A and B are shown apart, each in its own frame.
Chain A
Amino acid sequence: MPLTLSIVTAQRTVLERGDVTKLVVPTSEGQITLLPSHAALMTALGGGEMIASHSGGTESFAIHGGFLQIVDDEVSVLADAAEHVLQIDLERAEAARARAEARLTGRDSNIPPGGLDVLRAQSSLQRAMIRITIVRRRRPTGVPSMRP
């Protein structure tokens, strides 16, 4: 029996399908692979790539933190943010990376009032890097972004 997978965020449902045969997940403790009949598990997610294999091939997603629960072959991914590889806006990610790097290295003189939010800049840098890496790895060059 294949896995039923739902990837949801607070804003929307990113994916819902019932024929997933294999799921590679970036957890906070490292990458794991879920196959049908997996033991019931709850885990915190890290940032990285999630790969779902199903009858239509494989699909790749950028995942940025959250939780995963699998019980009775039903997988719920509660992501803080998630997007399909084709939905990633590469230009925006590059711009976010440049901005975050400029902030963190002190090259950006435009520091917001109240000082630099280092944690926030770091996490935005991390998210941008995840997006860029996944697009470079998975998307054939020249394919434009598909808006969500």
Chain B
Amino acid sequence: MAGGGSVRAIRDRIKSVRSTAKVTRAMELVAASKMRRAQDRALASRPYAERMTAVLSQLAAYTGAGDGQALHPLLEQRAVQRVAYVHVTADRGLAGGLNANMNRAGASLVLRHQPNVTSITVIPVGRKGRDFFMRSGMPVAAEFTELGDFPDFEKVRPIAKIVMDDFLSGAVDQVFIGYQRFVNAAVQRPTTRQILPIVPPEGEDGASKGADFIFEPSPERLLETLLPRYVEMQVYAAVLEARASEQSARMVAMRQATDAANEMVGALTLAYNKARQESITGELLDIVGGVAALEAK
């Protein structure tokens, strides 16, 4: 039975690759539908973010906040001794290079600041980033995992609260956040930005800047309520973007896996047919040889 064993081995392998392709295809479809939902949520939060940014820039322009004088503790620029970094990643892998790229970007931010400050702590949001920084022996101040695929505003508020509390108590002087920005379904970009102290956004148009606003109860009190919300909103937006990025990266990775598996099934089928052909030829030769031997008697 020349080659009979290898025929069976190839057949089993085809079966196993086929079932892998089925799994990755299912994961691709799940990720695609989650991506749409995650993207919708990210888009739904934008009007709030845009309007709040506009309001804050007007308020800042009016009060002169950010022109050196700190009208509110969250605006206070201090000599930077201690830095905190909020690192947003996914809880799960199978998303191509998404988490690895984010971890690399986070590590480079940490390494860039380390020589100039007395301490830098990491606050990972997501298991992949936590595992990475734990393994590399970085001080992890707090961690947030299992926020779910579609976290709501209330779920991310504690993250903002921790960094604001630390900033206000003087435990840290500067806070950054890093996340995978969702550019489109095929492109995600690791992005890091400063969230504390708050740098008031510049107004885009000077049109309403000149408006003589009435402030109720007072500009200072308004800053007091607006600024914490602004930080929360930025953290929330970062998490939403990261989630949309995660699902789209996973969808693409799983599609590639499905394509690779299907390609492999094709190659294996060729090999299978060839092996089967060879084993039939071998058997035929045996029979022909046997007949010839009988006739020669």
Residue numbers of A with Cβ under 8 A of B are 6, 8-13, 27-29, 39-44, 65-67, 69, 71-72, 76, 78, 80
| Chain B contact patch, size range | 20 to 34
Considering the chains assembled together, what is the distance between the CA atoms of A9 and B216 in angstroms?
A: 20
Let me know if B211 and A28 touch, CB within 8 A. no
Nearest residue, chain B, Cβ from A39: B214
For the A-B complex with A11-B153, A44-B221, A72-B211 known, give 17 more contacts whose Cβ atoms are closer than 8 Å. A9-B48, A11-B44, A12-B45, A13-B44, A13-B48, A29-B216, A39-B212, A39-B214, A40-B211, A41-B213, A41-B215, A44-B216, A67-B225, A71-B208, A72-B208, A76-B55, A78-B55
Let me know if A28 and B236 touch, CB within 8 A. no
Let me know if A69 and B55 touch, CB within 8 A. yes
Given the known A-B contacts A44-B225, A67-B225, A72-B211, are A13 and B47 also in contact in the complex, defined by CB atoms under 8 Å? yes
Residue of B41, B47, B208, B212 contacting most chain A CB atoms (<10 Å)? B47
Query: 19 A–B contact pairs at CB < 8 A?
Result: A6-B47, A8-B47, A8-B51, A10-B45, A11-B48, A11-B153, A12-B44, A27-B216, A39-B214, A41-B213, A42-B222, A43-B217, A43-B222, A44-B216, A44-B221, A66-B229, A69-B58, A76-B51, A78-B51
Main secondary structure of the interface of A (DSSP, over half): strand
Let me know if A43 and B215 touch, CB within 8 A. yes
Q: Tell me how far the C-beta of A23 lies from the nearest C-beta in chain B, rounded to whole angstroms.
A: 15
Given the known A-B contacts A6-B47, A10-B153, are A40 and B233 also in contact in the complex, defined by CB atoms under 8 Å? no
Let me know if B51 and A6 touch, CB within 8 A. yes
* Interface residues in B196-211 (C-beta closer than 8 Å to A): 208, 211
